[in-house]
Amino acid sequence: MFYQTHLRSIALILALGFLAIYASFGSYFAREIVVEITILAILAISLDFCAGFGGMVSLCHGAIMGIAAYVFTIMGVKLGWPSLPSATLGLLAAVLFSGMVGWVTARTSGIFFIMATLAFGQMAYTFFFKSRWLGGDDGMGGISRFDLSWLGLDLNDALVFALLGVGVLFLVYVVASILLRSGFGRVLCGIHSNENRMQAMGVNTAKHKALAMACSGFMAGMAGIIAAQHTLYISPELLIWTVSGEVLLVVILGGIGTLVGPVIGAIILIMMKHELSNYTDYWHMIVGVVLILAVLAGGRGVYGQIEVWLEAFFKPQAPKEPKEPTESKEKEQDLA
């Protein structure tokens, strides 16, 4: 079950505040990094939504993002549509694709679900890779950013774009947390902890799983639209399974099933990658060691671990918060 605790709100505000300050006062490249982080963080929230709360560990979130980016670009560049309808259609395509995947794979679970989503993701990747009309592996350029001049915003300014990204990240978080606290979110968590029981109670679990994937697809689609707007160029690389793998790493690293943890995971991974690659070509190794250490240190992810520590620390002073410990226990069950 998901609770928007004070600790989570504080962590989210701190994380978003850090990104905003880093973008505002940092160099040009800091803004690039902030956008990169927001894209990954949105994807991570989207994956945590279905993996951490619905038990659907998807390996096709890169593909979902890529489909939104491609449809957005096809409409805008190839067919000359204005950007807002193109983006809407891109989001719709992402929602349809992920809902379809969720529905078709509803009977699978665990590694079988992971591999089934991988298969659908790779099929989408191959489709774009082989389509000559869409530039094949060379990709497509010619994208332009949204015209927000009526709001007095120039998105071609790196700072404005980075801050807008942080804003979208916040919105996606709010949407995810509202959905999870709704009746639908509770049913989803119920399916995660005991699917048979939910079925016995008369819940159509396949439908709920497909819906959860569709919602998740909507969020991943947002990441896709930002990614296309950010680089002004798209290629099948967006859809390849290693992108989805990286998202999964970020979710686990930050703390699966905490919603804010993945945001922190994204910040850690991207910052670490860029800082390390300044010094060595062998930064993969250091990232790998960090991943291993993160698990050995407790296995709840960076934020998940901090949450547990802080709660243990505050427990004597505030005995009136019994729900947190039960929740972390439930989380462990989720993982098992």
Among 10, 14, 82, 137, binds another protein (CB under 8 A): 137
Enumerate residues 140-179 that contact another protein by CB under 8 A: 141-142, 158
The answer to whether 229 and 155 have CB atoms below 8 angstroms apart is yes
Enter the DSSP assignment of 52: T
Q: If binding is defined by CB under 8 A, does position 258 make contact with another protein?
A: no
Write out the binding residues for another protein, residues 178-217 only, by CB under 8 A.
none
290 residue type, one letter: V
122 binds another protein (CB under 8 A): yes
Of 38-67, binders to another protein (CB under 8 A) are 57
Binding residue for another protein, selected from 2, 161, 173, 241, defined by CB under 8 A: 241
Q: Is 138 in the site for another protein (CB under 8 A)?
A: yes
- Tell me how far apart the alpha carbons of residues 97 and 60 are, in angstroms, rounded to a whole number: 10
- Using CB under 8 A, which of 80, 110, 152, 202 touches another protein? 110
Report how far residue 87's alpha carbon sits from residue 68's, in angstroms, rounded to the nearest whole number: 8
CA distance 161 to 165: 6
Query: Which residue among 20, 92, 100, 119 contacts another protein (CB under 8 A)?
Result: 119
Least Å from the CB of residue 56 to another protein: 13
Q: What is the DSSP string of 217-261?
A: HHHHHHHHHHHHHHHS-B-GGGGSHHHHHHHHHHHHHH-TTSSSH
Contacts of 244 (CB under 8 A, 6+ apart): 58, 59, 60, 61, 62, 63, 117, 118, 121
Nearest approach, Cβ of residue 210 and another protein (Å): 13
CA–CA separation, 331 vs 302, rounded Å? 14
Our CB check for another protein shows the closer of 2 and 125 to be 125
Q: Which residues bind another protein (CB under 8 A)?
A: 27-29, 32, 36, 57, 104-105, 107-112, 115-116, 118-120, 122-123, 126-127, 129-130, 135-139, 141-142, 158, 227, 231-233, 235, 237-238, 241-242, 245, 248-249, 252-253, 256, 277-285, 287-292, 294-296, 299, 332, 335-336
